Structure 1
């Protein structure tokens, strides 16, 4: 892995998993997931529906 790839991965991890997110009431994603998975209140993920798409 090159230096730039390593730095990009580190930043992506920080940005997506460590820093607080406004959509999560300014919680960190890891803490939010841990809190809500233990209580069973995780929101279901949206699933794309391609059933009517003739190209899929």
Structure 2
């Protein structure tokens, strides 16, 4: 009986670890840097001297 409980516990831990790994991989995919083909043109920010307290994009 103890061996069966350990086997079941081990199988559950393996399944749970797989679920966590899949979740973390999905989260990491959201934060990966886009490839150079996916990058859009950068925004240029300029401060005008006439209204120095204002920043225009």
TM range (shorter): 0.3 to 0.5
Query: What is the TM-score normalised by the length of structure 1?
Result: 0.33
Higher strand share: 2
Query: What is the TM-score normalised by the length of structure 2?
Result: 0.33
> Larger C-alpha radius of gyration, 1 or 2?
2
